[in-house]
């Protein structure tokens, strides 16, 4: 198990002028490299040989240099970790980073300083822990049923881990639940082992908003939590196949019913009615406060909430992403919210670089990594 003290010692050995931002070339890497470059930090991309051309195709988004791997799990090998440590790399763990390298590997074997709090990734990866976190925050969350016989309204059935909505389905009775499970197993979209981890959650009716926050330990401001401030850096919503375009398909009386699916394919920008901002800022503050309590120093850096705003203008939060989300890729030059916080274009990628620079300046980088 990697301890926070080991990482603190490692980062204290780094040369401040050599600190380099590194991540796997996927997910939000263009934004992360671009933002680090805007702040004058060096960058390293961990990449497979066949993907390198994608990054080389964007001269302001590509990293300064690459570490080429055959498989991202190779990063655990001493040789690659040694290279990252020699380059004084602080790794940014985006969603694909955690998925490709593996949460357990990161926890047990990855000695390279990672930006943020590794415990947060654990809370994100375990639906039960995530629910405890949201309950501790005192925010409204959807009802859940342990037992399918209790299904009495439309419910979404989810499986373990961040699978981008793949394999999820909606049912409104126990009978439909059993049918869908059988179908999924036949088609191979659900495995027997998934079943023990299935969550049956009330399908919240309303409009989805996914606010993107940043918890800063380096800057002070109005929305405070723990010892830092909570910033709203942007809002997006996901575009999911096929559910988001189902309305375009004419319904026939006798034809087969089309089952909605929830596979994330992209993101679109949104802004909220300004009078709803107090609620969204309060959500971010509460979730951060709870994180400080449950896993100090809390949700350091970027995080995102997945919410539905009902027609009572109430936000129901059904998921937390405890790291940079791909929806932030909409705003490489800042968003309709970040522009009121910073006088320069501020993406989430750049915001992390700015925080790291401030950590270096205040000799507190060890507080920002784990
Ligand atoms: P998740 O993996 O939890 O992010 O869910 C994938 C997608 O399923 C979300 O982006 C939503 O479109 C939808 N979804 C998940 N949970 C709910 C819920 N409780 N109510 C309504 N829609 C949901």
Lowest mean pLDDT among 46-55, 105-114, 271-280: 105-114
pLDDT for 195 equals 82
Strand partners, 230: 215
C-alpha of 162 from chain center: 9
Q: What is the mean pLDDT of residues 63-83?
A: 96
The mean of the pLDDT values for the chain is 95
33: CA distance to ligand 1 center in Å?
Answer: 30
Point out the ligand 1 atom lying closest to the alpha carbon of residue 240: 12
Segment 316-347, tens digit of pLDDT: 999 999 999 999 999 999 999 999 999 999 99
**CB contact at 8 A, 31 and 9:** no
Q: Is 165 in the pocket of ligand 1 (CB under 6 A)?
A: yes
Q: Whole-angstrom Cα distance, residue 305 to residue 213?
A: 8
pLDDT for 81 equals 97
Protein residue whose Cα sits closest to atom 16 of ligand 1: 318
pTM over 0.85: yes
Largest Cα–Cα distance in the chain? 69
Name every residue whose Cβ is closer than 8 Å to that of residue 57 and which is 6 or more positions away in sequence: none
Q: What is the mean pLDDT of residues 292-306?
A: 97
Point out the ligand 1 atom lying closest to the alpha carbon of residue 203: 20
Q: Whole-angstrom Cα distance, residue 122 to residue 120?
A: 5
Q: What is the mean pLDDT of residues 289-316?
A: 98
Q: Whole-angstrom Cα distance, residue 145 to residue 149?
A: 9
Confidence label for 178 from pLDDT (cuts 50, 70 and 90): very high
Confidence label for 188 from pLDDT (cuts 50, 70 and 90): confident
Protein residue whose Cα sits closest to atom 22 of ligand 1: 203
60: CA distance to ligand 1 center in Å?
Answer: 34
255: CA distance to ligand 1 center in Å?
Answer: 27
Q: Whole-angstrom Cα distance, residue 326 to residue 30?
A: 11
Residue that the structure tokens 């000799």 belong to: 363
Q: What is the mean pLDDT of residues 64-76?
A: 96
- Cis amide leading into 242 (omega within 30): yes
Protein residue whose Cα sits closest to atom 13 of ligand 1: 262
pLDDT for 162 equals 47
pLDDT higher than threshold 90 for residue 189: no
**CB contact at 8 A, 98 and 121:** yes
- Cis amide leading into 297 (omega within 30): yes
Q: Which of 165, 242, 245, 315 to mutate to test the pocket of ligand 1 (most atoms within 8 A of CB)?
A: 165
pLDDT higher than threshold 80 for residue 163: no
Q: What is the mean pLDDT of residues 125-151?
A: 95
* Alpha helix positions (H), 146-266: 174-187, 192-195
Q: Is 262 in the pocket of ligand 1 (CB under 6 A)?
A: yes
The 3-state DSSP class for residue 294 equals helix
Point out the ligand 1 atom lying closest to the alpha carbon of residue 165: 6
In the chain, the percentage of residues whose pLDDT exceeds 90 is 85
236: CA distance to ligand 1 center in Å?
Answer: 14
214: CA distance to ligand 1 center in Å?
Answer: 22
Tell me the C-alpha to C-alpha distance, in Å, between residue 53 and each of 22, 265, 305. 18, 22, 33
pLDDT higher than threshold 90 for residue 166: no
Q: Is 239 in the pocket of ligand 1 (CB under 6 A)?
A: no
Q: Is 52 in the pocket of ligand 1 (CB under 6 A)?
A: no
Protein residue whose Cα sits closest to atom 2 of ligand 1: 165
Q: Whole-angstrom Cα distance, residue 231 to residue 212?
A: 9
Q: Is 327 in the pocket of ligand 1 (CB under 6 A)?
A: no
Protein residue whose Cα sits closest to atom 17 of ligand 1: 203
Q: Is 203 in the pocket of ligand 1 (CB under 6 A)?
A: yes
pLDDT higher than threshold 70 for residue 366: yes
Lowest mean pLDDT among 107-111, 203-207, 213-217: 107-111
Q: Whole-angstrom Cα distance, residue 262 to residue 244?
A: 8
Q: Whole-angstrom Cα distance, residue 62 to residue 45?
A: 8
C-alpha of 348 from chain center: 12
Confidence label for 136 from pLDDT (cuts 50, 70 and 90): very high
Q: Is 155 in the pocket of ligand 1 (CB under 6 A)?
A: no
Q: How is 131-163 classified by DSSP, letter by letter? A: HHHHHHHT-----EESSGGG--S-EEEE-SS--
Segment 191-214, tens digit of pLDDT: 888 888 889 999 999 999 999 999
Q: Is 204 in the pocket of ligand 1 (CB under 6 A)?
A: yes
**CB contact at 8 A, 154 and 260:** no
Q: Whole-angstrom Cα distance, residue 209 to residue 223?
A: 20
Is the pLDDT higher at 189 or at 273? 273
* Alpha helix positions (H), the chain: 4-13, 29-38, 52-56, 78-86, 95-101, 103-109, 118-125, 127-137, 174-187, 192-195, 277-294, 348-361
């Amino acid at each position: 198990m990697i301890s926070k003290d080991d990482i603190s010692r490692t980062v204290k050995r780094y040369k401040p002028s050599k600190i380099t931002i590194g991540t796997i070339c996927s997910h939000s890497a263009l934004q992360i490299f671009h933002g680090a470059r805007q702040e004058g930090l060096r960058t390293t991309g961990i990449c497979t040989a066949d993907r390198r051309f994608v990054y080389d195709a964007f001269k302001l988004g590509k990293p300064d240099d690459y570490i080429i791997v055959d498989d991202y799990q190779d990063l655990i090998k001493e040789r690659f970790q040694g290279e990252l440590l020699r380059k004084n790399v602080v790794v940014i763990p985006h969603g694909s980073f955690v998925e490709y390298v593996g949460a357990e590997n990161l926890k047990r074997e990855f000695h390279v300083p990672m930006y943020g709090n590794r415990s947060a990734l654990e809370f994100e990866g375990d639906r039960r822990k995530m629910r405890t976190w949201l309950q501790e925050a005192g925010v409204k969350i959807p009802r859940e049923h342990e037992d399918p016989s209790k299904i009495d309204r439309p419910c979404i059935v989810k499986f373990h881990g961040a699978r981008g909505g793949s394999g999820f389905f909606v049912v409104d009775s126990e009978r439909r639940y059993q049918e869908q499970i059988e179908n999924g197993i036949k088609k191979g979209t659900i495995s027997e082992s998934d079943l023990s981890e299935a969550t049956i959650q009330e399908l919240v009716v309303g409009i989805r908003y996914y606010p993107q926050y940043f918890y800063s330990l380096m800057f002070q401001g109005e929305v405070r939590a723990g010892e830092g401030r909570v910033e709203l850096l942007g809002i997006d919503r996901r575009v999911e196949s096929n559910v988001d375009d189902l309305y375009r398909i004419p319904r026939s009386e006798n034809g087969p019913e089309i089952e909605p699916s929830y596979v994330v394919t992209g993101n679109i920008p949104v802004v909220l009615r300004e009078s709803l901002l107090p609620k969204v800022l309060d959500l971010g503050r509460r979730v951060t406060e709870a994180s400080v309590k449950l896993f100090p120093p809390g949700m350091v850096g970027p995080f995102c909430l997945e919410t539905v705003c009902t027609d009572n203008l109430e936000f129901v939060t059904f998921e937390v992403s405890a790291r940079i989300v791909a929806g932030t890729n909409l705003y490489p030059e800042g968003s309709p919210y970040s522009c009121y916080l910073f006088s320069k274009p501020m993406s989430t990628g750049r915001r992390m670089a700015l925080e790291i620079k401030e950590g270096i300046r205040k000799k507190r980088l060890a507080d920002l990594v784990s």
